[in-house]
């Protein structure tokens, strides 16, 4: 397959630097990649400490999905080294996770910038919606900050392709309950509509400067609250127009939620109005 060739890179072209963080499968390092054209690109290198065949396959499945994705607001895969020790090499986003960034920059970030981040994540998800792909783990911990004006959706570890009308039935472990739609919690049903619910929770996180959704509840209490109609409250800096969109995203009935395509339109409009207001 052509796309595989493009992504099969040589270890000799990668220089490994300091540790950036700990991933699910192993350490993530900073590094530099020398491209075939001679450019030096700063990269993040994901490693896998357990090299047994089945773990390795799970580790590489994220990269397999990412090979087919190209979008300005989705993390960019540079390449994969498939011989031991296996590495996934991605473009480096030096400002790190959006969750941490929101906490560090909370007194500097304007409402316009926060709306811009929501719009960019929404555009990435509209792109996935067009590919019939569900992400399943939309949260500020899975968004990286490329520059103060540009965020990238990442972490496709839980993503799956779904056929129309179909859904992915997930295993029960490692599920982010407080971000999940009621049908995902009850029946482990994941669709684009459940991604829309999660996107709503992610927008709530953005305007709450990365507080945990439902931090006042135990995981086990969340579904009862949702079923009795309780929803996350409006974060103080969240514009009412956006909070109204969130409540549409949190419709109990999946079919009643907007599509990402519709959300992009609404958020673009809200962002445009905010920019105009800012410039007087
Ligand atoms: P988990 O499943 O627990 O989220 P993971 O295996 O998906 O883990 P990541 O969260 O993607 O691993 O990566 C671990 C850390 O490495 C992150 O906290 C992040 O700070 C850093 N990191 C990962 N990818 C990049 C990147 N492209 N640019 C900059 N930092 C990155």
Substitution site in 16, 25, 28 for ligand 1 pocket (most atoms within 8 Å of beta carbon): 28
Atom index in ligand 1 nearest the CA of residue 94 equals 29
141 Cβ neighbours under 8 A, 6+ residues apart? 97, 98, 99, 155
Give catalytic status of residue 84 as yes or no: no
CB 124 within 8 A of CB 73: yes
CA–centroid distance, 72 to ligand 1, in Å, is 18
Provide the pLDDT for residue 54.
85
Tokens of 28: 């993530």
Q: What is the mean pLDDT of residues 92-116?
A: 97
pLDDT tier at 227, thresholds 50, 70, 90: very high
Q: Show the beta-strand stretches assigned E in the chain.
A: 14-22, 27-34, 40-47, 77-81, 87-91, 133-134, 143-147, 150-153, 160-161, 168-169, 189-190
Contact in structure between 44 and 31 (CB atoms under 8 Å): yes
User: For atom 12 of ligand 1, which residue has the closest CA?
Assistant: 23
pLDDT digits (tens, 9 = 90+) for 124-172: 999 999 999 999 999 999 999 999 999 999 988 766 666 544 455 555 5
The count of residues in the chain is 280
Give me the interface pTM, i.e. the ipTM: 0.94
* 24 C-alpha to ligand 1 centroid (Å): 8
Comparing CA positions, the residue from 114, 117, 185 lying closest to residue 152 is 117
DSSP 3: H
What percent of the chain stands above pLDDT 70? 92
Residue range 161-210, pLDDT digits in tens: 665 444 555 555 567 999 999 999 999 899 999 999 999 999 999 999 99
The rounded mean pLDDT for the chain is 92
Are 139 and 179 in contact, with CB atoms under 8 Å apart? yes
Distance 21 CA to ligand 1 centre (A): 6
Instruction: Tell me the two tokens of residue 41.
Output: 């690109």
DSSP secondary structure code for residue 234 in this structure: P
Catalytic residue among 5, 84, 137, 163: 137
**Measured in angstroms, how far is the CA atom of residue 224 from the centroid of ligand 1?**
32
Q: Parallel, antiparallel, or unpaired: how do β-strands 168-169 and 189-190 relate?
A: antiparallel
Q: Are 21 and 155 in contact (CB under 8 A)?
A: no
What's the pTM value of the predicted model, to 2 decimals? 0.93
The answer, yes or no, to whether any atom of ligand 1 lies below 6 A from the CB of 25, is yes
Which residue's CA lies nearest to atom 8 of ligand 1? Answer: 23
């Amino acid at each position: 397959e052509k796309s595989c060739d493009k992504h099969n890179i040589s270890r000799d072209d990668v220089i490994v630097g300091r540790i950036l963080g700990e991933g699910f499968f192993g350490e993530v390092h900073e590094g530099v990649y020398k491209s075939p054209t001679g450019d030096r690109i700063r990269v993040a290198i994901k490693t896998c400490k357990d090299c047994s065949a089945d773990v390795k396959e799970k580790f590489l499945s994220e990269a397999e999905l990412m090979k087919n994705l190209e979008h300005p607001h989705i993390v960019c895969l540079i390449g994969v080294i498939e011989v031991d020790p296996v590495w996934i090499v991605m473009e480096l986003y030096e400002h790190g996770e959006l969750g941490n960034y929101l906490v560090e920059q909370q007194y500097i970030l304007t409402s316009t910038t926060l709306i811009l981040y929501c719009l960019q994540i929404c555009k990435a998800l509209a792109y996935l919606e067009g590919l019939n792909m569900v992400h399943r783990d939309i949260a500020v911990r899975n968004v990286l900050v490329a520059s103060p004006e540009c965020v990238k959706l990442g972490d496709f570890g839980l993503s799956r392709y779904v056929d129309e009308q179909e859904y992915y039935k997930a295993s029960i472990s490692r599920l982010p309950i407080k971000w999940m739609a009621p049908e995902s919690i009850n029946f482990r049903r994941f669709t684009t509509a459940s991604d829309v619910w999660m996107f709503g929770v992610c927008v709530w996180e953005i305007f709450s400067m990365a507080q945990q959704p439902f931090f006042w509840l135990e995981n086990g209490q969340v579904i009862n609250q949702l079923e009795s109609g309780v929803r996350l409250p409006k974060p103080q800096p969240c514009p009412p127009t956006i909070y109204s969109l969130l409540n549409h995203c949190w419709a109990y009935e999946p079919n009643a939620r907007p599509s990402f395509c519709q959300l992009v339109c609404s958020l673009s409009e809200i962002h445009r109005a905010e920019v105009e207001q800012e410039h007087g």
